[in-house]
Amino acid sequence: MDDADFWNLNSNAQPLIFPAPLPDSPPDMKIDVPATGMNVALRRWSNLQVETQKLLSRPGFVPTWKPYWQKPKTIQVAFPDLIDFQTKEEKEGEPSEKPKRKPKPKPEQAEGQEKKKLTRIKPPDEMLSMEDRLFYVLQPPLESWLAGQELVMPFEPFPYQYEGIAWLFSQKSALLADEMGLGKTMQTITAVRLLLASGQIRRVLMVCPKPLIPNWQREFKLWAEELPVTTLEGDANRRKMLLNMKSVPVLLSNYEVVVRDLQDVDESELPRFDLVVLDESQRIKNRDSLTTQVIGRIPRVRSWSLTGTPIENRPEELASLFEYMGVVPKRATPDLRQLKQLADVYILRRTKDLVQPDMPPRLDRDAHLELSPAQKSAYDIAEKEGVVQLNDMGDEITIQHVFELVMRLKQITNCDPLTGESAKKDRLVADMEEIAASGAKAILFSQWTKTIDWLYEHTKQFGALVYHGGVPTKQREPILKQFKEDPNSHLLLMSYGTGAVGLNLQFSQYVFLYDRWWNPAIEDQAINRAHRIGVKNPVIVTRFICKDTVEERIDLVLQQKRAIFEKVLGEGDTSTESLSMNASEVFGLFDLKARAGEGTRKIGPQPHAA
């Protein structure tokens, strides 16, 4: 079909669709029409008309835009004025130019390691103010802060010590519970030093057991030589003046003096401190003790406590420490689950196994000894008579009676009072000959000063020295110095009470536990005088245990207690089992039954009483 057919031009048939009128002339362009013929309108010419319009106004630009920026809002963090505790050499010379110091000695463990990870101070989780959080975030990493640019460190701290320092720095309430020997003293002193230097604190009260005052003085001198440390001593007027003197940055005192000087002071007149640190803070584990109550009243901003044994007997002892730290209300009795939650936030505890995998090991060996004939005879008689007496007492028997018998028997295992025979002493002398010949040093612990004095007479050939509560405080430091420096002095005889805490005797390779303490935690403290940071050789610990005596039975109980201690402080124990040696256990030493009313209670003398 051509176009004519499509348009129905050549046909007479009636068109299906009436076309539009034809133009005067055919279109001069080809119109492509589809077969459906639906667009017939294309046959129409467009009707176009052109008109001109006048512009009414000038064209504008819409929208208008100017390069205007609102000035960003800013936030400021202010830092306290710098406090400069200058060392003597800096006071004399020009302090501003960069120091030209010798490289610091580094511990052997640090050598050969790759570039160290920097330890940054993190804001505590409970800190909400942004300015406060930024204050901590913007502090330099401890490694650079303590790299000798500003604060000189005599030795490079270990990474876990940096972490401990950073943690303490940011904590208002803290319990540093590192295992003995990991450097709690050094970490605390360094954190105090940084807080003082950064203007965060200005007055610190450091409270420790009396025998440890010289130790803290020495450690402050070593780790923060620029800090003036004042010991609270002298007559009452002088002590009162020191307590209220605001220009004393670090005031060092012992528990007894603090209690004596502050127990009668009115609440409103108590001296205020920015930080109170309690060393060996298990001293306040009993909420009802005068010491706990007096120390709890001291107005303070930060409350730290230090102990390697936050739990000596029962988990509940932690509640008293938490109360001092202000993280539980007074007289609160948190359950074990709550205690563990608080511990996660406020306690930092590391063990040697965790932080010092390469530290020389501690080798425990139990020396099971046969009593000498005279000892055996004396022991058997004493035990037999003692048990008979106890049984004869009937219902009047108390734990104290049993305890007295235990003490008498233990003394016989140490030495027969009549003949002076002693299996332990003989073994000690034999061991010491070997130790002295090798040039090594040993420390020995006993719970009795009389035993120590008696042993001294028999070990003079090894240059033995005595260090117990009967030795005047002023003579103790020279004794420790002599033991360390005198090559002819191989043995230091110590009491648990005086020698078990705070001393650094890591140059000793041997530890003897001549008799056993009632609590494994105290024994660990004693052992850790030697097995601590800086130890270069394995430490051999020898426990003397006489066969078929009460010592064997006590050893069994101590082992069980140790297992429970580790369980509670370790992965957690949901039971409320008491850690105290209870009456049943003590009576059980002699196959006696506990009487009514003898529940769980602590036995044995106070560790610091010796």
Closest distance to other proteins from the beta carbon of 197 (Å): 8
Closest distance to other proteins from the beta carbon of 188 (Å): 20
DSSP-H helix ranges across 465-582: 473-485, 496-499, 520-527, 550-569
Segment 371 to 400, residues that bind other proteins, using CB under 8 A: none
Look up tokens 């041997």; give the residue.
Answer: 510
Segment 144 to 183, residues that bind other proteins, using CB under 8 A: 144-145, 147-150
Closest CA to 457 of 487, 481, 485, 422: 422
Show Cβ contacts of residue 393 under 8 Å, excluding neighbours closer than 6 positions: 401
Closest distance to other proteins from the beta carbon of 231 (Å): 17
Look up tokens 């039971």; give the residue.
Answer: 575
Closest CA to 158 of 530, 527, 534, 502: 534
Closest distance to other proteins from the beta carbon of 74 (Å): 5
Cα 494-495-499 angle, rounded to 5 deg? 70
**Measured between alpha carbons, how far is 491 from 507 in angstroms, rounded to an integer?**
12
Q: Which is nearer to other proteins, 135 or 483 (CB)?
A: 135
Segment 181 to 210, residues that bind other proteins, using CB under 8 A: 198
Q: Which is nearer to other proteins, 155 or 456 (CB)?
A: 155
Task: Give yes or no for a contact between 535 and 506, defined as CB atoms under 8 angstroms apart.
Answer: yes
**Measured between alpha carbons, how far is 331 from 343 in angstroms, rounded to an integer?**
18
Q: Which is nearer to other proteins, 126 or 364 (CB)?
A: 126
Closest distance to other proteins from the beta carbon of 147 (Å): 5
Q: Give the count of residues interacting with other proteins (CB under 8 A).
A: 43
The DSSP code sequence of 349-415 is: ---HHHH-TTSPPEEEEEEEEPPPHHHHHHHHHHHHHHHHHHHHTGGG--HHHHHHHHHHHHHHHH-
Say which DSSP state 547 is in: T
> According to the 3-state scheme, what is the secondary structure of 301-367?
EEEEEECCCCCCCCCCHHHHHHHHHCCCCCCCCCCHHHHHHHHHHHEECCCHHHHCCCCCCEEEEEE
245 binds other proteins (CB under 8 A): no
Closest distance to other proteins from the beta carbon of 87 (Å): 12
Closest distance to other proteins from the beta carbon of 76 (Å): 5
Closest distance to other proteins from the beta carbon of 164 (Å): 21
Q: Which is nearer to other proteins, 39 or 86 (CB)?
A: 86
Contact range with other proteins by CB under 8 A, out of 130-138, 229-237, 517-525, 590-598? 130-138
Q: Which is nearer to other proteins, 14 or 76 (CB)?
A: 76
Q: Which is nearer to other proteins, 19 or 99 (CB)?
A: 99
Closest distance to other proteins from the beta carbon of 311 (Å): 34
Closest CA to 317 of 3, 605, 22, 600: 600
Q: Which is nearer to other proteins, 77 or 363 (CB)?
A: 77
Site string for other proteins, 69-108 (x = CB under 8 A): x-xxxxxxxxx-xxxxxx---------xxxx---------
Closest distance to other proteins from the beta carbon of 190 (Å): 16
Question: At 465, is the secondary structure helix, strand, or coil?
Answer: strand
Task: Give yes or no for a contact between 610 and 497, defined as CB atoms under 8 angstroms apart.
Answer: yes
Among 33, 40, 134, 382, binds other proteins (CB under 8 A): 134
137 binds other proteins (CB under 8 A): yes
Task: Give yes or no for a contact between 284 and 278, defined as CB atoms under 8 angstroms apart.
Answer: yes
120 binds other proteins (CB under 8 A): yes
Q: Which is nearer to other proteins, 249 or 607 (CB)?
A: 249
- Tell me which residues touch other proteins (CB under 8 A): 65, 67, 69, 71-79, 81-86, 96-99, 118, 120, 123, 130, 133-134, 137-141, 144-145, 147-150, 198, 228, 247, 249
